[in-house]
Structure 1
Amino acid sequence: MTTVREATFDVLRACGMVDIFSNPGSTEVPFLVDLPSDFRFRLALHEGSVVGMATGFAIATERPAFVLLHTTAGLGNAVGALATARVNRAPLVVVVGQQDRRHLALEPFLTGHLTALAGPYPVWTSEPALPQDVPSAIRRACHEAAYGRGPAIVIVPRDDWDDPVADDLGLAAPLEVRRPPAIDHASVAEIASLLADSRSPAIVAGAGADTPATWTALTELVERLGCPVWQEAFGARAGFPQDHPLFAGQLPAGRVRLRETLAPYDVVLVIGTGAFRQYPFEPGPLVRSGAIVVVVADEAAAVHRSSATLGVVADPSLVCGRLVELVSRRETSRHTSRTIPPVPEGPFSARHVFAALAEQLPEDAVLVEETPSTRPLLHQYVPARAPRGFVSAAMGGLGFALPAAAGLRLGDPTRPVVAVVGDGSSMYGIQALWSAAKYGCGVLYLVLSNGGYAVMDLLAARQGGKPAWPGFDVDLRAMAEALGCPARLITDETTLRATFDEVLPGLADRREPLVLDVRVTPEEHFEP
């Protein structure tokens, strides 16, 4: 007779989840001891890093990643990263250990009240009623994570793993779930008609458009329409080639500038995201009166929360591909030339770093971003040129980039990975450098050290007051080296460019991470 543990390993194999991302405790020991040789255990030193690394891995592999967390403490530490995974649309199967089922009623040490601890961020949560239900719950969690595009949680008491499962019992979940590739042809025809009648259409691309199939179909549609393409504000990923002549830039995150930006367009087709992502609250409508907004996304929640005339839940690549067949090519000379700001003379700053990176970054590189005070500048200098060319934390919480970059590299070792991180941001996930070094993740980490939380200082200045928080200066090179990760200090542009000359051409083949502690002058302006 098979045990729950053995049946679970069979489920994980069938789902392609043989990498286990974890920072385990006593409740997970019965599952992990004598791990089968075809599984790979990936240790991180904090649960935020565990989930962040798994999130990057899931994005890179485009399939669910398996996370194992330790009861209340582990799940509690991971909630912020789980929120990021949800908004980043990263499928995760998260098993959370629980105390022994046989004395849970007494609430022994390490008992967790777990079902609601992660709040609304899981796409699905299960606390199996019987040990024998655990493999089925994990199988279903794989489906829920894949099609809900987020973390699915299963809570498993430590004594469940050794219980028997009848070999002929079967799983209470399908072996395979298919979502038919059919689309609503009437809805697509309606969208095509709106575009045909439009005098001045525009497209907004979101993270949900960041697949090779959607890039191809959307690019062909844009070229037939001859219309500009905007990237959603604070997008976790790029949904369109940002070096394309029709790419117009990043949408503003405030209503006033958003309304001004979209004012010339009578039909705005939003692909792969909702309408529209905002940051500071401002009164007034999102778009001018009379403008028609159409949203197409395969995430129902994104469609449901949109301010739109029409919303369609469907695969964006299929809808765009069908629209290409239905819309006529427009004779237009419209094009958008991407404006690259000049690098000013003066102290060494993030602009110098981004300008040098733009010149030397491999075209297929994955750029991971977590630098709040300079993200707008990064977008101006360094475009995403391939699917999955840009990855960021959609939730806005810090601590994502360092572990996610390691996971992206683990998930797809063929592509070079560069993470651009602020020194303040790095403090939220610095433990991930240990895992990056341990597992040979050849990531180039560019840490922009400006001596504090620069974005907070800029926001305080905009508020007209002085910050209550102090600046800080940490020795990131020493911290990285203490965690087993090679690091260098960079204080000038000449040294930076020489380092890029040395490292970037061979980054795809690199087998150890490298941290560059780049000391820069803080920027004086921030506009989300």
Structure 2
Amino acid sequence: MTAGAGAGRTVRDATLGVLRELGLTTLFTNPGSTEIPFLTDLPGDIRLVLALHEGSVVGMATGWAIARDRPALVQLHTTAGLGNAVGALATARVNRAPLVVLVGQQDRRHLATEPFLAGRLRGLAGDYPVAVDEPATARDVPGAVARAHHAAVHGRGPALVIVPVDDWARPAAEGAERAAASRVAYGTAADPAGPAEIAAIIDAAASPALVAGAGNDTDDGWAALVALAERIGAPVHQESFGARAGFPQDHPLFAGILPADRPGLRAALAGHDAVIAVGAPVFRQYMFSAGPLAEPGTRLALLTDDPAEAHRSPVELAVLAPIPAALRSVAERVSARATRPSVQGAAPTEEPAPPDEAGPLLPAHVFAALAQRTSQDTVIVEETPSSRPDLHRLLPARRPLGFLSAAMGGLGFALPAAIGVRMARPGRPVIAVVGDGASLYQIQALWSAAHYRVGVLVAVLSNGRYAVMDRLAESAGGKPSWPPFEEVSVSAVARGLGCPAQRVATHAELTAALDAILPALHDRSDPMLLDIAVATDPAFHP
């Protein structure tokens, strides 16, 4: 793969050639002066997607990369842009989203004097990038971009290339080798030894259980894990705080979401003498609590394609391999079991009774209404911490990529990510379900959705407060020191950004709005925001 440098070709020309060869022709950005030489007069085959804040830039690119299962291209503006994007880059890393990130830098010719906008960029994003490259010369930039693509794919995260502003106009190298492989082949065959050991652990167990994680959210992964679960008659739990669903949540063997505390985890896994996690960490926690993850005598094993996940998980055996192929290998080796367990999570979900006109609208009412009207291929992008358990209970993921959330836990992911997913998968309906507090972290992304006519539905659960924080304070025996923000109108902000919006205050208004929007959501070409007034569920406990 060559950039094809010829007479008069610049580093920008050569880099554009590399981007075309790598399929990186959609660029998410919020530009500044250090990006002008690259972005001005872009060729017609390079699509620029503007966002109004770098968190939205990276969030949209993350959704795009996840939905397309290939790297997305981002360009950020020196220290200010990269600094604003660090939280979103952290989320991209933990969500395993491959991003190639160009970061602008001041002119090489006076960097030594630290001019205005010069950035100390290496290390600014901490350890969250999977690679950071500062090309030694301008001519090294095209190769650095190609290497960043390889790093993003292999490392499953953002790879940064820092490019001084004057590099783009420099002459491209002629006749020089580009220091990057034309193609990197990643192994697809699982070593039989690891799956054989997992099969042996399962066969030796009286009551095995499985745990599905975000790393198994592919068509092949779902099919392979369903086949294994049905062969051994094992319940399948979903990892806690999972960014994606790794198993169909309407399957009879689905046993629900694991608790994120050790006592709850031990109770959920009690009675199982072997637990095999698939594409999930072992086991993700929230608040610290003492004691082991599982009862003594329970054997823990992990199958993953993430080296960091394999290295840090406290298990008897971690198998690092391509997940679907390894699952099929385990299923071929394990002994079939005739009986199936009684799975608590497989019981029919009880929907909440609709409120009367005077009663409060709860998040569960919203989720039940969505569940009655959404198709199986709908993508739900979630960021509503205080009502997430109800969402899982009432709105299960029924297809791969049916559920997406921020693995990192920080707010501001769901709204731009939903826009990126819809841009990448225009044939699938996409609904962002967010709290009003969460929506305000990247509300600017609505402008991009409106400007580029991205037909995503944003359902905002508006209670005028950070409900999860209030309850955490109460559970600690105190009361919040922060005020509510009931005067904020998310629908008014949305309309100010050019996005159509509707305020919903009653159950009748909710069902009427959903009946009007959802049947045509597959083909919708404009965003819509529903600002839904809800009360905090008194039964909720974080």
Counterpart residue identity of residue 307, structure 2: A
Corresponding residue of 1:192: 199
1:521 aligned residue: 535
Aligned position for 1:216: 223
Shift of 1:395: 0.4
SS of the aligned residue for 2:441 comes to: coil
Q: Does the residue aligned with 1:164 lie in a helix, a strand or coil? A: coil
8 Å CA contact 1:458–1:525 kept in 2: the answer is no
Is the CA contact 2:471–2:541 (under 8 Å) kept in the aligned structure 1?
no
Task: For residues 334-353 of structure 1, give each alpha carbon's deviation from its aligned partner in whole angstroms, at most 9, with x where no partner exists.
Answer: 24224524415542111110
Q: The residue matched to 2:385 in structure 1 has which SS?
A: coil
User: 1:488 pairs with 477, 499, 502, which one?
Assistant: 502
Residue pair 1:248, 1:338 contacting (<8 A) in 2 also:
no
Among candidates 377, 381, 388, match of residue 364 of structure 1: 377
1:101 — aligned with what? 108
Matches within 5 A, 1:14-413: 14-336=21-343, 337-344=346-353, 345=355, 346-413=359-426
Percent of pairs with identical residues: 58
Q: Give the TM-score of the pair, scaled to structure 1.
A: 0.99
Q: Which residue of 1 aligns with 2:4?
A: none
| Distance (Å, rounded) in 1 between the aligned partners of 2:423 and 2:176 | 36
Give the corresponding residue for 2:513.
499
Contact kept in structure 1, 2:274 and 2:298, CA below 8 Å = yes
Report the equivalent of 1:9.
16
Q: Does residue 421 in structure 1 map to residue 434 in structure 2? A: yes
* Deviations, residues 129-172 of structure 1 (Å, cap 9, x unaligned): 11111111110111111111110011000000111122321321
Say how many residue pairs are matched.
528
* Between 275-284 and 344-353, the greater mean CA deviation after superposition: 344-353
Distance 1:329 1:132 in 2: 59
Aligned to 2:478: 465
- Look up the SS of the partner of 1:391 in the other structure: strand
User: Aligned equivalents of 1:311 and 1:408: distance in 2?
Assistant: 32
The CA deviation at 1:107 is 0.3
Amino acid at match of 2:387: T
Amino acid at match of 1:116: G
Cα offset, 1:312, TM superposition: 1.0
Q: Which amino acid aligns with 2:102?
A: V
Q: Secondary structure at the match of 1:447?
A: strand
Question: Structure 1 CA distance, aligned partners of 2:312 and 2:440?
Answer: 33
Contact 2:237 2:257 (C-alpha < 8 Å) held by counterparts? yes
Shift of 1:322: 1.0
Tell me, which stretches of 5 or more residues in structure 2 are unaligned? Answer: 1-6
Deviation at 1:515, TM superposition (A): 0.1
Cα distance in 2, alignment partners of residues 299 and 408 from structure 1: 23
C-alpha displacement at 1:527, in angstroms? Answer: 4.0
Kindly indicate whether the alpha-carbon contact (under 8 Å) linking 1:487 and 1:516 is maintained by their aligned counterparts in 2. yes
Q: Alpha-carbon deviation of 1:524?
A: 2.1
Amino acid of the residue matched to residue 179 of structure 2? A
AA matched with 2:454: C
Q: Which amino acid aligns with 2:352?
A: V
Cα pair 2:132 2:161 within 8 Å, conserved? yes
Asked if the contact 1:376–1:527 (Cα under 8 Å) also holds between the matched residues in 2, the reply is no
SS at the partner of 2:119?
A: coil
8 Å Cα contact 2:274/2:299 also seen in 1:
yes
Q: Is the 8 A contact 1:243 1:338 kept in 2?
A: no
- CA offsets 1:225-264 (integer angstroms, 9 cap, x no match): 1110000000000000000000000000001110111121
1:339-385 Cα shifts (integer Å, max 9, x gaps): 52441554211111011111111110100000010011110100000
8 Å Cα contact 2:351/2:394 also seen in 1: no
SS in 1 for 2:128: coil
Match in the other structure for 2:489: 475
3-state SS in 2 of match to 1:434: helix
Question: What's the secondary structure of 1:143's corresponding residue?
Answer: helix
In structure 1, distance between residues paired with 2:441 and 2:515: 30
- 8 Å Cα contact 1:247/1:338 also seen in 2: no
2:440 and 2:210 mapped to 1: Cα distance?
Answer: 37
Amino acid paired to 1:446: A
